[in-house]
Homo-oligomer: A and B are copies of this chain.
Amino acid sequence: MTGSLVVVGTGPGKAELMTPATSAALARATDLVGYGPYLDRIPATAGQCRHASDNRVELDRARHALSLAASGKQVAVVSGGDPGVFAMAAAVFEAVEAGDPAWRMLDIKVEPGVTAMLAAAAEVGAPLGGDFCAISLSDNLKAWTTIERRLSAAAEADFVIALYNPASKARPRQLGEALALLRAKKKPETPVLFIRAAGTSEAKVVSTTLGAADASTADMRTLVIIGASTTRQVGRWIYTPRGERGIS
């Protein structure tokens, strides 16, 4: 039998935010490959083999999944969120590029999902209502100077900024440095949102300002959103209007 590989995202956490297309792809798979806690979200299917791994070995995991597909298995690689946004899809294609030339002939698909920033935004209103950017603060695979350059450009062009991977035990300092950089370029009253475990029953929001934001509020499960100049509060919601004042 010819193997296949599909890269899926389980969404932000609760089952109701995983798409039916992803559920169907998972049910069809003979083998699931992914970080243990993501696999734990998926209902058991009889006869299906689960290959759980640590969360910091993406390329090894991708190679393992590609080998299984090449041997004839129907493989699903499981990410959280959307698999194409700071998740497993890019790692799979990196492994294809560097690996066995036969892997380029495999049946590989990506199923889109709800990425963390969309669930985080929905928890508080519509902060991503204008032009925005998404930046991972992890400097494991890129230079910190690259991240600084992108934060500066985002501030100067007045994008709403969504920060993925703002902090971890191994990277406690990055978010503080990012906020310091942004304070030099944006107004202190700019809304800042720390949204932890968005799209789960444990969701928790801290709504503050750039002037008052405390980087230690964030952990591995937090998504940070920094407003544009137009981002504002109405009632208990934070949103970014679709346009600029005076244009309609």
Do residues B84 and A121 form an inter-chain contact, with CB atoms below 8 A? yes
Considering residues A20, A114, A134, A153, which has the most beta carbons from chain B within 10 angstroms of its beta carbon? A114
Binds B, one of A41-49, A67-75, A141-149: A141-149
Binds B, one of A10-18, A28-36, A172-180, A211-219: A10-18
User: Which residues of A (124-174) have their CB < 8 Å from a CB of B?
Assistant: 125-136, 140-143, 146-147, 149-150, 152-154, 156-159
Do residues A140 and B243 form an inter-chain contact, with CB atoms below 8 A? yes
User: In the complex, what distance in Å separates the CA atom of A142 from the CA atom of B240?
Assistant: 13
Contacts of A192 in B (CB 8 A): none
User: In the complex, what distance in Å separates the CA atom of A133 from the CA atom of B152?
Assistant: 14
Contacts of A7 in B (CB 8 A): 126
* A89 interface hit (Cβ, 8 Å): yes
Contacts of A247 in B (CB 8 A): 141-143
Q: Evaluate whether A11 and B16 lie within 8 angstroms (CB atoms) in the complex, with A122-B112, A150-B159, A248-B141 already known.
A: no
Contacts of A121 in B (CB 8 A): 84, 110, 112
Residues of A in contact, count (CB < 8 Å): 80
Question: Could you tell me the distance in whole angstroms from the C-beta of A154 to the nearest C-beta in chain B?
Answer: 7
The one of B21, B109, B237 that contacts A16, using a Cβ cutoff of 8 Å? B21
Question: Could you tell me the distance in whole angstroms from the C-beta of A52 to the nearest C-beta in chain B?
Answer: 21
* A94 interface hit (Cβ, 8 Å): yes
Do residues A90 and B240 form an inter-chain contact, with CB atoms below 8 A? yes
Contacts of A135 in B (CB 8 A): 131
A contact set with B: CB distance below 8 Å = 7, 11-12, 14-21, 24, 58, 82-86, 89-94, 96-97, 104-105, 108-115, 118-119, 121-122, 125-136, 140-143, 146-147, 149-150, 152-154, 156-159, 199, 232, 234-235, 237, 239-244, 247-248
29 contacts between A and B (CB under 8 A): A7-B126, A16-B21, A16-B24, A19-B19, A58-B242, A84-B121, A84-B122, A90-B241, A91-B242, A93-B125, A93-B126, A94-B239, A96-B234, A104-B234, A110-B126, A111-B122, A112-B122, A131-B135, A131-B136, A131-B150, A133-B133, A140-B243, A141-B243, A142-B244, A142-B247, A149-B156, A149-B158, A150-B157, A154-B157
Extra contacts, 5 of them, besides A16-B21, A58-B242 (Cβ < 8 A), are: A90-B241, A104-B235, A112-B199, A133-B154, A150-B158
